[in-house]
């Protein structure tokens, strides 16, 4: 796992100063503390920071091919590199190293862009072909590894694993993108279709960019997509057996490492399944780690301990105080862009714990998106049945009216908090899902915005992107479209961003076996009844793991990392909440109405309503913009 950076002059090749590449890489030293390298040629420069995982001494980067005609800076892991190496050797290729980096170089020289289809793993890389004068920038199927890009004032294209790498370049502009602000307040993160800074874009998951000297910079091209258009036939027993086989292969391929390896263990279905299959494949006890909380209703360590005992793992657990909010500044600096998923705090803590013992940790991320494990997916699946029974006009009249007048009732038990469900049922399935996924709805955001900021948005509404994505999805049902949105929009923007930044901040490589693309493709073809059964998601996944895990683990309510931000913002962080309205950063940019923010704070602190999520978003936005030192 590493950090990469570079500069490419497409239309007019110019010399690249290697010191600029060095500064860009040094800004990401945490991603690769074990080594650094820079390579430059007329019009192009590549840089690399290395975290050594495989072939510890033999694969320095940037790496030149054996014939000296291609060079690569690579971040990630290719899990099937040994199989690809054997295939290439069978075609006459010779190798000088034993790692995966040289395999990518040779695969490019043999197959060109088609080599991407053969790579199984997580990656973002820059590969320059000296004969063709082409630069290939590529990102893995799900966007596990990031890549930021920007056009420089001198016409060059700069790219980097993190935004802070671009910010180290002296020509980097720091002007905020208004649409990214609206998207951030909608979702709690800046999706991959945007960047918080104008002029910066992210290479999309499953996309590549092929640049050539003497030609303008082209548009990104998709090389892989997930499809829900087909259905697999078979009995539950047969499909369950096939799923276990795929999971075994995915886990075992991600256990290849020349450094200590372990796993995150929360005690939930996904991480417990990974640990079970790791234990089955290992002759030594698996190293596991978990984070607990000093508030009983937030703590899952008993479940984690139960799994650790069952599989005799070498387990480490640590308790984090529920008032662990002192790391807010570190978190905002870690992410560069504003990021309001409060579970980033405990995720960072568990990464710190893991790094004390291992350099690589397997996680259970991706299963909820692939197998319909989120409550919102199950609710959407059942809401779609209601939509199919009632005409749109009747739904809009009946549920829309009820929803508008139904009290928000944050204080009430969950069954009585029906406002969001009623409003969602009045809308199309796509609009309803966007409403359920959003943190702050359009009306709430508009009430906060200054009229001048609304004009800057030029009619942009963040929800429309998700609605359009779902409507064009290769899918057959509402559940398909919801999962497609989660896999292509939510997963790379929120979950994978969170894990990448928090793990890389402590120089830890996190691997996601349940995001093996063959496993996800299998899941996308499952009949809906194999994914959702009644009010329970991940049906087949849980069924196939019954031979490994107790029902207490498989069928207990989903919890996840919970951070008590509502209590924080009414207690020890109430002062911080009140300061948001008068923040020199936010008020200086003139985007928001200070009185509207003040009302949110007053209503939350008094207990009249729960505005914690939008207040947390505003707090993290304020901190991030201070770190970025931006202008409006």
User: For residues 136 and 126, is the Cβ–Cβ distance under 8 A?
Assistant: yes
Is 343 in contact with 563 (CB distance < 8 Å)?
A: yes
What lies within 8 Å, CB to CB, of 21 at 6+ separation is 5, 6, 7, 38, 40, 45, 46, 47
Out of 2, 289, 351, 601, the active site residue is 2
CB burial of residue 317 (10 Å; 0-12, 13-18, 19+): middle
Q: Which residue, 122, 196, 50, is CA-closest to 491?
A: 122
Residue 62: cis peptide before it, omega within 30 degrees of 0: yes
CA dihedral 172, 450, 438, 405 (to 10 degrees): 180
Q: What is the DSSP string of 331-368?
A: HHHHHSS----TTHHHHHHHHHHHHTT-SEEE--TTHH
Long-range contacts (CB closer than 8 Å, 24 or more residues apart) made by 321-327: 321/293, 321/294, 322/293, 322/294, 322/295, 322/298, 322/564, 322/567, 323/568, 323/572, 324/349, 325/568, 325/572, 325/573
Examine the residue annotation and report whether 2 is marked as an active-site residue of this protein.
Answer: yes
* Rounded Cα–Cα distance for residues 129 and 596 (Å): 55
> DSSP string spanning 580-618?
HTT-HHHHHHT-B-HHHHHHHHHHHHHTSS--HHHHHHH
Q: 407, exposed or middle or buried, with CB in 10 Å at 0-12, 13-18, 19+?
A: exposed
CA 486 and chain centroid, separation: 10
Report d(CA 608, CA 401) in Å as an integer. 24
Region at 225 (left for phi over 0; alpha for psi -120 to 50; beta for the rest)? beta
Alpha-helix residue ranges (DSSP H) falling in 221-326: 236-253, 269-281, 301-310
Pairing of strands 157-160, 200-202: unpaired
With both helix axes pointing from N to C terminus, report the angle between 178-187 and 612-628 in degrees, rounded to the nearest 10: 140
Active site residues: 2
């Amino acid at each position: 796992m590493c950090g990469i950076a570079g500069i490419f002059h497409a239309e007019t090749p110019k010399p690249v100063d290697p010191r600029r590449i060095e500064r860009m890489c040094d800004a990401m030293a945490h991603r690769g503390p074990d080594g650094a390298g820079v390579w430059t040629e007329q019009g192009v420069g590549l840089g690399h920071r290395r975290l050594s995982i495989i072939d510890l001494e033999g694969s320095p980067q940037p790496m030149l091919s054996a014939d000296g005609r291609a060079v690569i800076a690579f971040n990630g892991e290719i899990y099937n590199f040994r199989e690809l190496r054997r295939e290439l050797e069978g075609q006459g290729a010779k190798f000088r190293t034993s790692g995966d980096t040289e395999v990518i170089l040779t695969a490019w020289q043999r197959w060109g862009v088609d080599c991407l289809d053969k790579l199984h793993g997580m990656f973002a890389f820059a590969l320059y072909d000296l004969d063709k004068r082409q630069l290939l920038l590529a990102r893995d199927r799900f966007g596990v590894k990031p890549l930021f890009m920007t056009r420089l004032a001198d016409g060059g294209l700069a790219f980097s694993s993190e935004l802070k790498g671009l910010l180290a370049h002296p020509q980097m502009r720091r002007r905020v993108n208004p649409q990214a602000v609206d998207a951030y307040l909608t979702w709690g993160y800046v999706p991959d279709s945007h960047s918080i800074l104008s002029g910066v874009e992210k290479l999309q998951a499953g996309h590549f960019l092929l640049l050539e000297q003497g030609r303008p910079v082209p548009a990104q091209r998709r090389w892989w997509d997930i499809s829900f258009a087909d259905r697999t036939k078979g009995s539950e027993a047969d499909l369950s057996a096939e799923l276990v086989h795929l999971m075994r292969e995915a886990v075992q391929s991600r256990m290849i490492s020349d450094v200590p390896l372990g796993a995150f263990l929360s005690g939930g279905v996904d991480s417990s399944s990974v640990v079970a299959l790791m234990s089955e494949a290992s002759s030594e006890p698996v190293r596991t780690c978990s984070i607990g909380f000093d508030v009983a209703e937030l703590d899952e360590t008993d479940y984690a301990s139960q799994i650790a005992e069952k599989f005799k793992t070498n387990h480490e657990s640590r308790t984090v105080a529920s008032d662990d909010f002192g790391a807010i500044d570190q978190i905002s600096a870690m992410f560069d862009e504003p990021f309001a998923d409060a579970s980033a705090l405990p995720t960072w803590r568990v990464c710190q714990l893991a790094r004390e013992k291992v350099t690589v940790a397997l996680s259970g991320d991706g299963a909820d998106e692939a197998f319909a494990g989120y409550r919102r997916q199950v609710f959407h699946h059942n809401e779609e049945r209601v939509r199919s029974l009632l005409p749109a006009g009747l739904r809009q009249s009946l549920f829309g009216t009820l929803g508008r007048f139904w009290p928000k009732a944050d204080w009430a038990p969950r069954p009585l908090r029906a406002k969001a469900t009623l409003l969602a049922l009045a809308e199309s399935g796509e609009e309803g899902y966007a409403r359920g996924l959003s943190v702050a709805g359009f009306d709430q955001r508009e009430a906060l915005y200054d009229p001048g900021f609304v004009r800057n948005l030029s009619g942009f509404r963040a929800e429309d992107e998700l609605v359009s994505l779902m409507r064009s999805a290769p899918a057959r049902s509402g559940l398909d479209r919801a999962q497609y949105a989660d896999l292509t929009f939510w997963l790379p923007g929120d979950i994978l961003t969170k894990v990448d930044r928090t793990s890389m901040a402590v120089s830890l490589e996190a691997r996601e076996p349940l995001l093996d693309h063959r496993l996800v493709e299998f899941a996308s073809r499952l009949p809906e009844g194999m994914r959702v059964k009644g009010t329970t998601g991940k049906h087949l996944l849980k069924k196939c793991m019954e031979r490994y895990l107790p029902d207490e683990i498989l069928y207990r309510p989903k919890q996840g990392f919970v951070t008590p931000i509502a209590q924080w913002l009414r207690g020890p962080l109430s002062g911080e909440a009140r300061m948001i309205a008068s923040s020199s950063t936010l008020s200086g940019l003139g985007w928001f109405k200070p009185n509207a923010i003040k009302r949110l704070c007053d209503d939350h602190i008094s207990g009249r309503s729960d505005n914690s999520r939008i207040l947390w978003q505003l707090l993290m936005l304020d901190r991030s913009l201070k770190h970025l030192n931006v202008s409006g």
